Every structure is written in structure tokens, then in C-alpha cells.
Chains A and B, each alone.
Chain A
Amino acid sequence: MKVSYFPGCTLKNKAKDLDLYAYKSAEALGVTLEEIENWQCCGGVFTTAKNEVATKLSSVRALKEACTKEQPLVTVCSACHNVIKQTNHAMQTDKDFAAKVNRYMNEDGGYSGETAVYHYLEMLRDLVGFDTLKEKVVNPLKGKKIAAYYGCLLLRPNSVMNMDDPENPTIMEDFIKALGADAVVYSMRNECCGGYVSVESPDLAKNKSNAVVNNAKAQGAEMIITACPLCKYNLVKNGADIPVVYFTELLAEALGVKEDTNE
């Protein structure tokens, strides 16, 4: 199976692990990630700048390219996924917005939201299947107590993201179980890490991050996994005393392709 892939800027510097292991794991699962040619930054936070059409153009270009190749577009960074999925939804439902964007673009036939956007986790669940994933695991992570951290962007707004119930998500827990580990369920798993205020009020961000880590630890977690570079940065920077890793790293470990990348 071939899919279009949008890595996003953070994955090419701060979050190289997220990207590398995404590639390696996909390969092990028989999925080829075809990186969008000349992709640019997704445009940043959708909700705070929806009216700024120019910042959405790079997302739309990526979507259009996947559309032309008749492939689903897969993303892995929570923030990129959020922006691209919301932009795609706006292209489908908001005629004025779509018209404006298409006037900027120089694409044949324009674009109106035809591409299916999948987060890497959704790709695992819906295209690969967690049962298939389970079969391909070579290093089952038996006995590891792992807490999934969703953060705020991955699932919300639910009406658009349509990925999982934002209050009672299970997709990452099912992922952890598929890898053979124990999923630790804790209440703060879908709360904000404080990332958006980390410059303006670092103390508040620290409080938010610590609340997440402490709650996960209180429920017995030995490790936290996330899909979001900003979440990881915040949790680690604010002193998380258990490992915080990208979910793709855990995936690569279970699939036995982690060593390869270290060579």
C-alpha cells in the first residue's frame, strides 16, 4: 500500500525520531510513505487563524498532490494533522473559503476536499488494522505499563477530526495493547500540556505538564507516549521523570526495526 505522507517541519529537526520511526515502521507493515514533494509548513494553528487564507495554501497543496496521486494523505504530528484535516474540512464545507483558496492556487480543476486525511494512528487502525499490527509485532512489550497522552489537538474538534471520542478515547490504548504492553488509563490523558502558554507564562505551562505526568504516574505508568512534538517538548522540559517518547518509537521497537535506525 502506498500513501502520501506529510511529515511537517518539526519532524525534520526537533522531532526526527517521530519521522524516522514512522518510516521504518510503515515499511515493516508493508506501507510505503511517499513524502509530498516540496511540502512546506502546514501553516500553524488553524483555529486561531482560520481567516488567514495564505497560511492554508501549503496544506491545500499537499492535499491536492495526494488527490492527484489518488492516495490518502497520512500525517503524524498532532498539530499538522489538526491543521490539514481542518483545512480539508473547510475546503469541503465552506464555499467562500474554498473559492478564495482556489483563486490563490494555480492548480488544474482546483481542489474541494476530495482527499482522505489519516493520522498515522488512524492508518494503523483503519488501513492496516490493529489485529494485523499485533501479528507483525516481533518484540511484544510485555508487562510494560504505558500511558497514552493524547493532548488537546489530536482529537478535537471531534466534529471535524472524527477520530475517536475526545472524552473517552481508546485508539492509543488499543495501539499499546496491540504492541503487547499494558495501557494505563488516566484522566488527564486528553488535557492540554500548557504548550500554548509556555512562552507567555511558563509556570502555568509547568503546572499543566506536571498534572499530566503526575496523574499518569499515579495510575502506574512507567512511560508516556505521544504523537505531538510540542507535548513531548513540554512534558520533558518541565521535568517529567518517566520517559516520554513518540508512539512511533515504541512501534518501531515492537516491530524490531528500532535497532536498524540506530546503526
Chain B
Amino acid sequence: MQRVGVFVCWCGSNIAGTVDVKAVAEALKNEPGVVFSTDYQYMCSQAGQDMIINAVKEHNLTGIVVCSCSPRMHEATFRKTAAAAGLNPYMVEIANIREQCSWVHKDMALGTEKAIILGKAAVAKVNLNAPLTPGQSPVTKRALVIGGGIAGIQTALDIADAGFEVDIVEKKPTIGGKMAQLDKTFPTLDCAACILTPKMVDVAQNDKIRIFSYSEVAEVKGFVGNFDVTIKKNARYVKEDICTGCGACVEKCPMKKNPNEFNLGMDNRPAIYIPFAQAVPKVATIDPNACNMLKNGKCGVCARICTAGAIDYTQKDEYIEEKYGAIVVATGFNPISMDKFDEFAYNQSKDVITSLEFERLTNAAGPTAGHLERPSDGRSPKTIVFVQCVGSRCDACAEKGKEYCSKICCMYTAKHAMLVRDKYPETEVYVFYIDVRTPGKNFDEFYRRAVEEYGVKYVKGMVGKVVPEGDKLKVQASDLLANKQLHIDADLVVLAAAIEPDKSARPLATMLTASMDTNDFFTEAHPKLRPVESPTAGVFLSGACQGPKDIPETVSQASAAAAKVIGLLAKDKLTGNPCIAHSDELMCNGCSSCANVCPYGAITYEDKEFRMPDRTTKVRRVASVNPAVCQGCGACTVACPSGAMDLKGFANLQIMAEVDAICK
């Protein structure tokens, strides 16, 4: 029999305001096993904890029940207190009489009654508690960053800076991501390439960082500290270690008319290409769908021209297996397709473009060398209409758009409008908006400058229709403040398309058993207090894969994720949670129900020899839980038909004892 001490907390008036704490302490005195019961104003304070330590010594307590706030809040605190008193930390139970009782009830008598019942349940449970010791597992001191945009770059640099090895896996031929495509960055208007490319070079030159470009993650196994990852290195038909990036092959390639992804298809690139001048790694890649040699075996110009001998038409996809202690997801975002928004005539006119296309159009390294020209006829536009929230905040039509605010569009549209008015002051610029949302350091000032200094015409209201006619785009819109219909003959219409997570995110989440929300953004472990960790141990989130973000925010989150990774990799051993599942092999019939429901892949099966009552041996298939992977969710214990699966610290018997105590 345990010797249980009960400690009822007032939490100032938080609990004592609606629960008669003295009555609770008094009532619990008579519960089986309870040898001491008291109350105190702030049990979590040093004085409160000392009170517990003294009581353990004085009354030889073997179990502790604290009736206080949620275990999420202070379970760890009281476990430490128990350890300080010489008890096993897992001999502590919390009865949550604050969040689940005093805060939600108004009636003192009812609240007190419920608090007593919750206390009784905790006493019943602690009577069956057994000391638990957490297991330990080693840590592979290398991190994997998936995605080589600004988020992945920053995370990798910070981890490498702390002395740990990092690998970046990037599916494109170069790192740099979306930021490499941008022209200027708000609110300071510094050129994106000028601040990004030095970082890309840092990555390339850092001997702690390896880049797997044109590669994908193919498989992830293992658990925090011990991930086994298979990386698929797609054949680029160019030997990366030999190619010097001279570009001679790119110039001579005869297959020149392939849409250039980097310029969003607004110009062409050859079949062998280097995405942009500052690409890292600066290595050519052959597009197998465009290359005549790979398709028909005819050509071979690039192999002849290459003095280094880097071209290899026989290259195959390569699979590389590597071990990691931590994984950072930095898969980023894409603008949504405009196919379902034909009211804006995106597919009907070349002069209706997305904001990202506009970035390329004003970029000195873009298809027009930075001159603002209409894609259709190369004339410079005299009237430009920007439409915000295309597909964002779209609840009525959730099928084609997104319900959320894409967050970055108000600022980049203000930037675009301002830059146009600055460079081409004779151009008329309209911005249609639902709301202008520009919180952030120096953001609202930036937007106001666009309106007040640069004379951008902001109109509250949406564009209903864009009709291409002749060389004009007839824009029909409403001005909600003036309660008027507007008809504008525009030369260029720019759509601020909503952003969505990259398509690779969902299959990756499945591989990582990391959770996602309905929009395919990765879910964080806690929306406020653990924003860069996934609920899956050892998986961290960096950048827009977790939600729409601008560059400053992405970089802060990237560094925060790096800090979390460094904290993990700095440990030699990881202490696990001892409250994990285990299987009673004598009761297990090997049915796989548990393995099927386990979200972490922690359960495997093994054939084991059992000695039978008649002294023969029999081989049976039984479940076995990997203690380092199990997160203690308990799904398997519910699924197990034979009752073989049980959860330490939350044993079936303990839960039944709690239910009994409540129903008594």
C-alpha cells in the first residue's frame, strides 16, 4: 500500500474562488492510502514545494497527489519536487482542479464536489503508480534540412556555425528558392539577390554543409536522434564535381525553346541550363524532356563542347543513405494556380500576370532586363491594376481559393506599386484591396508612403471582371467607399495570387509522420510556445511550410529552428519519456491491430520462442515496441483486442481505478 500525501493548491483565488480548498483537503484525507492532506496558497512556489518535500520526509510518503492546475502547466515542476524529496518523479499525480473545474464553474458547492471527485480519481491512480525510469538513446550529430530557400539556407548556416554538420536537400538544380526570383525586398527595398547570394555562397563554402541539389527525400525511417534517410539524387546528366559552370554548353545547345522555370515561363532556356548566374551549385543540368540526345540519341553538342568532360548522358538516379539526429522541414510555398480564376482572364491574356511574374518582369536579371514591358507586345504599360487577395480569404469559394490570408501580398503589392510610380511616374497605378494588412516593423509606414508620397490609387473593393479587348484590358471593379462601379482601361493587370505549401510537403509529412493542417501547412507542437517544432520529436519547421511568412519572419523562424536543432544535437544521449507502451507477450496474438494504428511506426513484430506448459517450445509472432520511437499516445492500447498492450504510467488498471473512483 502506498502512503499518499495530498496537496491542494488555492492558486490565489483562481481555484479558491470557486472551490472550497479546505473541504477538498479534508475530504481526501479519508481516501485509501492517504496519510497526509493539506492546502496552500501557491503550491508551485518555493514555499509550497518545500512543504511537499518536508511532508514526504515527515510522513514517509511514497506517492504525491497535487490538486492544482493542468499537468501541462506544472507536472514537470512537481516531478522535480518529488525527485528532490528522494521519490521517483513518476510517483506524482496531478488532479486538474483549475482549468477543468474552478475556471469553468461558478457554483462553489458544485465546484467543490467536482474537485473532490477529481482528487479521489488521482488518489486511486497514484495508489497503482510504479516508479518509472526513462530510457536513453544516442544522438547522430548531423542535421538534415529539406528545402534550400532562404529558410533552409539560414537554418543550415546557423547549425553549421554551431559546429554541427548539415545537409541541404533541394529539389531544384540550385538553392535560393523564391527569394532568388524576387527583385527588391520590402520594407527597405534592398535587392533580393544582393542579400541572398552572399548567403548562398556561404553555404557553398562552408565545410560543414553539403548540398544535395536536384534531389529529393525518398524515405525516412527511425526516430529523434537516429533518423535513417534515403536521398534520391536525380540524374542531371552532368558530373557535378567536374562541371565548372562555364556555360559554354548552355550557349551552344540547339534545343533553345523550353519554358524557363526561373522566369516563370516568360522566356525560354536551352535543354541544358543553369537557372541563373549566381546559382549554387553552379552546375549545368540537362532537362531530359527537352534534350534531343536523351530523347532520340541525336545531338551530343554539349558533350563535344565541354572541355572538362562533365556531360554524362548515361547518368542514373542515385540513392544515398544517411543518418541524421534532427530533420528541419523548409519546403516553402508556391503561388496557387490561376486556372480557376478566369474572371481575371489570366489564361486569356498575356498581360494579366501574377505578382511573382511581375517580380521577374522588373528584375534586372529577368526576361526584360528589368524594363517594365507588357508580355504581349513589349510596350510599356501606362495604366496598371493590381488586384489583391486573388484566392486568399476566399470562404465562399473555398474550392478554388484559400480561406486564409496569404499575409505577404499587401506588402509586396505596395512595393510593386511604389516601384512603378518611382521608375515610371507617368504610369497610373491602381491597387484593389479587401483590407490593407500591414502590421510589422516599418510596414505600415511603407504602405502609407506608397499612397501619400507616390500617389498610388488604393481602392477598397474587388475587381469583378477583366475583359481583354483590343490591346486593352477592360477592368470592371467596385469602389466600396464611394459606392460606385469603376471601369478602367488597363494595360497590365497584376494578380496577387494566394500562396500555398509546396506540393512536396504532404508526401513528406507522411514520411516524417509530422502532422499538417487542412491547408497542408505543417502543424507546430504549440501555436504559441513551440512554434518551430513539429509534434513529432526531432522534426523542426522553418519558414513558409508552417504558414505564410515574409522574409524577416522566415529568417527569424529559420534561426529559431536551428537553435532547437543545436539544442538537440548538443546532447550525447536523449532521455526518453518513460510513459510508453509495452506489450505483454504472453497475451499478444500478433494480430497487427496496434501496428496499424501507431502513428509513429514504433511497433514491429518478431517471432519469439515460448515455452509451453507441456514443456515444448513454440514460435509465436508478437508485438514489440521501440521505446525510443513510442510517444506514449496510447492508441495501441485501445486498439489491442487481447489487452496485451499497456501504457506505462497510464495503465489500463490505473484508468479503470480512476473511473471507479469517479463513479463511486
Contacts and interface: CB of A to CB of B under 8 A. Distances in A.
Interface of A: 165, 167-168, 185-188, 191, 211, 214-215, 218-219
Contact of B470 (A165, A167, A168, A218): A218
Interface in B436-482: 465-470
Interface string B217-240: 000000000000000000000000
Interface in B309-363: 339-343, 345, 347-348
A165 B340 contact: yes
Given A187-B343, A187-B467, A219-B348, 6 more contacts: A168-B340, A185-B348, A187-B465, A188-B467, A214-B469, A219-B468
A188 B345 CA distance: 10
A204 to B, nearest CB: 13
Contacts of A214: 469
B341 A187 contact: no
22 contacts: A165-B400, A167-B340, A167-B341, A167-B342, A168-B339, A168-B341, A168-B342, A168-B343, A185-B347, A186-B467, A187-B343, A187-B465, A187-B466, A187-B467, A187-B468, A188-B467, A211-B467, A215-B467, A215-B469, A218-B470, A219-B348, A219-B468
Contacts of A186: 348, 467
A231 to B, nearest CB: 18
Contacts of B348: 185-187, 219
A211 to B, nearest CB: 8
Nearest to B342: A168
B395 to A, nearest CB: 14
A219 B469 CA distance: 8
A167 B340 CA distance: 8
Nearest to B396: A159
Size bracket, chain B contacts = 10 to 19
Contacts of B341: 167-168
Contacts of B339: 168
Nearest to B349: A187
B572 to A, nearest CB: 58
Nearest to B343: A167
A168 B399 CA distance: 13
Contacts of B469: 214-215, 218
A211 B476 CA distance: 13
Contacts of B340: 165, 167-168
Nearest to A211: B467
A186 B466 CA distance: 10
A215 B341 CA distance: 19
Interface in B92-139: none
B107 to A, nearest CB: 41
Contacts, number: 34
A168 B339 CA distance: 8
B460 to A, nearest CB: 22
Nearest to A166: B343
Interface in B399-426: 400
Contacts of B465: 187, 191
A203 to B, nearest CB: 16
The 10 closest A-B pairs by CB, nearest first: A187-B467, A168-B342, A167-B343, A218-B469, A187-B345, A215-B469, A215-B467, A188-B467, A167-B342, A168-B340
Contacts of B400: 165
Contacts of A191: 465
A40 B341 CA distance: 39
A131 B466 CA distance: 32
Nearest to A165: B340
Contacts of B470: 218
A134 B230 CA distance: 49
A167 B400 CA distance: 11
A215 B470 CA distance: 9
Contacts of A215: 467, 469
Interface string B424-435: 000000000000
A188 B473 CA distance: 12
A23 B340 CA distance: 34
A165 B347 CA distance: 15
B474 to A, nearest CB: 8
Nearest to A169: B342
A118 B345 CA distance: 29
A33 B507 CA distance: 50
B472 to A, nearest CB: 10
B608 to A, nearest CB: 58
A219 B400 CA distance: 26
A168 B347 CA distance: 10
Residue of B341, B347, B467, B468 most packed against chain A (CB within 10 A): B467
Contacts of A165: 340, 400
A33 B24 CA distance: 80
A168 B465 CA distance: 12
Contacts of A167: 340-343
Interface string B614-628: 000000000000000
A228 B334 CA distance: 41
Nearest to B347: A185
B100 to A, nearest CB: 41
Contacts of B467: 186-188, 211, 215
A256 to B, nearest CB: 33
B349 to A, nearest CB: 9
A116 B347 CA distance: 34
A221 to B, nearest CB: 12
Contacts of B345: 187
Nearest to A188: B467
A211 B465 CA distance: 13
A219 B347 CA distance: 13
A232 to B, nearest CB: 21
A26 to B, nearest CB: 31
A165 B401 CA distance: 13
Contacts of A188: 467
Nearest to A158: B397
The residue in B342, B465, B470 that gathers the most chain A C-beta atoms within 10 A of its C-beta is B342
Nearest to A159: B396
A185 B466 CA distance: 13
A132 B647 CA distance: 61
Contacts of A219: 348, 468
A214 B347 CA distance: 19
B164 to A, nearest CB: 50
A231 B470 CA distance: 24
A79 B66 CA distance: 72
Contacts of B343: 167-168, 187
A165 B343 CA distance: 11
A157 to B, nearest CB: 11
B225 to A, nearest CB: 50
Q: Counting chain A CB atoms within 10 Å of each CB, which of B339, B465, B469 scores highest? A: B469
Contacts of A218: 468-470
A186 B345 CA distance: 8
- Residue in A165, A187, A211 whose Cβ sees the most chain B Cβ within 10 Å: A187
A186 B467 CA distance: 8
A168 B341 CA distance: 7
Contacts of A185: 347-348
